Structure 1
Amino acid sequence: MQVLHVCVGQARPLTIGRRSFLSAIGKAAVDGPVALAPLGLAGDEQADPSVHGGLDKAVYAYPLEHYAFWEAQRGGLFDEPLPPGALGENLLVQGLLENALWIGDELHLPDAVLRVTAPREPCFKFNARMGLPDAGRRMMQALNPGFYLAVVRPGSIRAGDPVELRPGPRGLRVDEAFAARRLKHLRE
């Protein structure tokens, strides 16, 4: 288990149809160590703190293992492969999947500790970023949302950092939490 890339981004206008929204979904990988504080990574912004950011959603992690799924979903829409940060993630990770992570698990890195708090809930900005009008629905069907992290111990994170998983209370897995939200959306 490891951090493959650390990604940050600034809030910028995102145009969808004729409307423009502020979004920081466009993240890019950075080199070297990145400072981690209780509200997230240095140099990173969230455009809508009502759904992203804050103490419980300070950092968003996404498994590299799902990138192949998204490449297949986009099937020829774009010439370039998805770069790190393409799904809005701060950490592109390997070996940390939603069906093996529990809300409350801790990720111990060499210089920081993070706690798994919730699955991501995709929105219309994610659809626009992926170039698919139903990308959020596809994420919900595949149960591959990635997960939010709270900062337990601030420090710094860099690409290549190993991750040690320390079990939390083991009440609800990330994919189970996401599936419950999917069911709620289907009922509405």
Structure 2
Amino acid sequence: MKLLSVNVGREKAVPYTDNPEGVTGIDKRPVDGPVRVAAPGPKGIGGSALAGDAVCKRQHHGGDDQAVYAMAREDLDAWEGELGRSLANGAFGENLTTEGIDVSGARIGERWRIGSEVVLEITSARIPCGTFQGHMGEPRWVKRFTQKGAPGAYLRVIQPGEIRTGDPVQIVHRPDHDVTVALAFRAMTTERPLQPRLLAAGEALHPELRKWALEYVEKHGA
């Protein structure tokens, strides 16, 4: 299990973003050399955990609980077959392109050590948006990505440090519940009755998902 690439994005003006300022950082590219990783601060204020990585719409993106986005190279390869075109590392706007890890099958609260310093913890799944669809340039992309159910994972920073391409990834903690990234994604999108199950992930769960799950339980029961 390792990092195939570490990807960062620069602020870029595009016609397809729903950001009122007309800019996005979704176009992420692999970078050479070590990249500093540290908790960026609360949502709305903090951006990406990766130094030099732009987050342009901070009311919806970035912040401590979705500070890093990881995607499996294996999932990108599967999409290449479906789309009939190549997808470079970083093509989905991910910060980390991994090899040998079932990212969407990872559990909320699972912790990864990357290299010798950095420890990250999985918090939630990535939800596709209009900017992602415009970036991909594929018809009905949001619906297709949702139906696929392999969204990749958001992570928070537990221990800061530096990472670089080729670093080994080690799972240092795996919770004993069954709340995976893929299950959380379905609960957030196509199968809302799954939301009460997310509470088994405890405090590791992204606070917004926890709030939605509690509201669902209050309204509908467990």
1:135 aligns with 2:141: yes
Deviation, 1:169, is 5.0
Secondary structure of residue in 2 paired with 1:38: coil
Q: 2:54, 2:13 → 1: CA distance?
A: 13
Which runs of 4 or more aligned residues in structure 1 lie more than 6 Å from their structure 2 counterparts after TM superposition?
none
Give ranges in structure 1 of 5+ residues lacking alignment: none
Q: What are the residue-to-residue correspondences of 1:74-93 with 2, within 5 Å? A: 74-75=83-84, 81-93=86-98
Shift of 1:114: 0.2
Q: 1:151 Cα deviation (Å)?
A: 0.4
Distance 1:48 1:115, change over 3 A: same
Task: Tell whether 2:113 aligns with 1:108.
Answer: yes
Residue 37, structure 1, aligned to residue 38, structure 2: yes
Number of aligned pairs?
A: 180
Task: Using the TM superposition, give the Cα deviation of residue 156 of structure 1 relative to its aligned residue in structure 2, in angstroms.
Answer: 0.6
* Alignment deviations for residues 29-53 of structure 1 (CA, whole Å, 9 cap, x no partner): 0011101111201100111112211
1:151 to 154, 157, 161: 157
Q: 1:20 to 1:14 in 2, by over 3 A?
A: farther
1:104/1:169 contact within 8 Å kept: no
Q: Does 1:183 align with 2:184?
A: no
Equivalent of 2:67, from 58, 61, 83?
58
Q: Which has the higher helix share?
A: 2
Does 1:67 pair with 2:76?
yes
Task: Name the counterpart of 2:210.
Answer: none
Q: Which amino acid aligns with 2:123?
A: T
Partner Cα separation in structure 2 for residue 65 and residue 37 of structure 1? 27
d(CA) in 2 for partners of 1:127, 1:7 = 19
Q: Which has the higher contact order (CA 8 A, sep 6+)?
A: 1
Taking every aligned residue pair, what percent have the same amino acid on both sides? 38
Contact 2:38 2:160 in 1 (8 A): yes
- Give the structure-1-normalised TM-score: 0.88
5+ long unaligned stretches in structure 2: 41-48, 193-222
Q: Is the 8 A contact 2:104 2:153 kept in 1?
A: no
Cα deviation, 1:141-165, whole Å, max 9, x if unaligned, reads: 1111111010000001111111111
Q: Secondary structure at the match of 2:109?
A: coil
Q: Map of 1:157-176 to 2, 5 A cutoff?
A: 157-165=163-171, 166-168=173-175, 170-176=177-183
